[in-house]
Amino acid sequence: MKRHKELLPESLEFSPIRLLGGFICIDTHIGCRGCKFCLNRRQPILHRVLEDGFHLDLSETGLSTAEICGLITSLPSFREAMVPIRIGHLSDWAYQYQDIEHLLDCIPDDYPITLMTRFPLAEPQVETVLRRPNVIVHATLTPYMPEFHQDYTPHRSIVESVSPLPPTSLIFMLRPLVEGNVSETLRIIDSLPEGSHICFKKMSTDEIPSMPDIRPVTKHEIERFVQTAESRNHVALDYFGCVLRKKLGIPFFKFDEIGNQPSSACLACPNRTVCESVTPPGLAEIKTALEKLHIDCSGIRTDGSGVVVETRATASRAEEIYLSEKFKKPIEIVTVKRDSNRGSHYMKSDVFERWASSGFFPVERMETISGMIKKKYESGIYNAD
């Protein structure tokens, strides 16, 4: 069963800190280039923001970098579970790297952070990565698509800009991959420096407005890309976060699921012994953690190397991730929405009531900031692209 994508409710649409998709997502800037295939377009107001070319630095709302740091470092996901940080979710790192530099200063240098961009890196960005042991660059390379010509950045310029970085600080994400750009994808694989880390992601068109009628590449074509990458001595990964986990020696709770697959990157990964040596947690420890989250547990059982939690409370993926990263084993909560067809759904208000009452997330402060950004956007008075 696949997990549904979680969308934030109206009160938190512009929240600059988000617990989504297995990460603590942070942005100090709102607005971006507006790629037609951007996954943020699933949220109607974010779609309009991209169409309108809205741009805003968070400092304009009165939210300082020091306050963002305080909010992040007080999150249980940060303090107790070391949930990785991802910067560049609502915007691109390119639009915010100066403010992000201050943010990085307040985070310990063994904390995993991914900086995401689809633009060539400026010199100060390269220096940031070379100076900090706990960050990697997630550089997205998009094979040329005539349908999206206006959104195209030649991959060569991005690859050249990151050439001073060692492979241990870099993942190339080839996406979105669609039918018709297979040969260009193969050319990009050939052009990357030997030993590169690469991930492949097919186009997702679900619930993104105004997508032309194009089809994602097939599973078979993805397998062909992986094989081609391996034949060029690259490392093809299922999860880009594994570059950081290897670098910092952090185990991944998904290891038991992916580690022994026939073509798994885990087979040759130097972090394998770290990932496979995790001792499963005791059920009593997990129950204590659930109490802190204010989740009533009606049953708990081991399932393979992981744990399944029964509850009637509406739970979120963020809480599953918190527990899984904390105990380094997969912990599934039965009420987190799953389906055979992946889709998206708005998170329910009872999730945020619990997050607020348990101190899991600063709901009230983020609603205030989100409201200020929305007001600015709706005023129509701002600098557009």
Does the footprint of ligand SF4 cover residue 256 (CB under 6 A)?
Answer: no
Cβ 129 to ligand SF4 shortest distance, Å: 20
Q: Is 41 in the site for ligand SF4 (CB under 6 A)?
A: no
Gap between the Cα atoms of 184 and 155, Å rounded:
11
Does position 199 bind ligand SF4 by CB under 6 A? no
162 near ligand SF4, judged by CB under 6 A: no
> Is 345 buried (19+), middle (13-18) or exposed (0-12) by CB count in 10 A?
exposed
Report the nearest approach of ligand SF4 to the CB of residue 227 (Å): 17
Contact yes or no for 76/22 (Cβ under 8 A): no
Q: Please, what is the minimum distance in Å from the beta carbon of residue 255 to ligand SF4?
A: 4
The answer to whether residue 121 forms part of the interface with ligand SF4 (CB under 6 A) is no
Most distant CA pair in the chain: distance in Å? 56
Q: At its nearest, how many Å lie between ligand SF4 and the CB of residue 268?
A: 9
Residue 251 CB, nearest approach to ligand SF4 (Å): 6
Is residue 216 within 8 A of residue 205, CB to CB? The reply is: yes
As a whole number of angstroms, the distance between CA 318 and CA 293 comes to 11
Number of chain residues interacting with ligand SF4 (CB under 6 A): 12
Q: x/- binding map, residues 269-308, to ligand SF4, per CB under 6 A? A: x-xx--x---------------------------------
User: Judged by CB under 6 A, does residue 30 bind ligand SF4?
Assistant: no
Interface residue with ligand SF4, options 113, 136, 173, 266 (CB under 6 A): 266
Residue type, 349: S
Asked if 351 touches ligand SF4 (CB under 6 A), the answer is no
**Nearest distance in Å: CB 166, ligand SF4:** 17
Binding-site member from 167, 180, 259, 359 for ligand SF4 (CB under 6 A):
259
Rounded (10°) angle between helices 97-105 and 65-73: 50
Amino acid at 198: I
Integer angstrom CA distances of residue 80 from 42, 76, 256, 328: 31, 5, 22, 12
Place of tokens 């995401």: 116
Smaller CB distance to ligand SF4: residue 265 or 351? Answer: 265
Window 215-254: contact mask with ligand SF4 (x via CB under 6 A):
---------------------------x--xx-----x--
193: contact with ligand SF4 by CB under 6 A: no
Binding site for ligand SF4 (CB under 6 A): 242, 245-246, 252, 255, 259, 265-266, 269, 271-272, 275
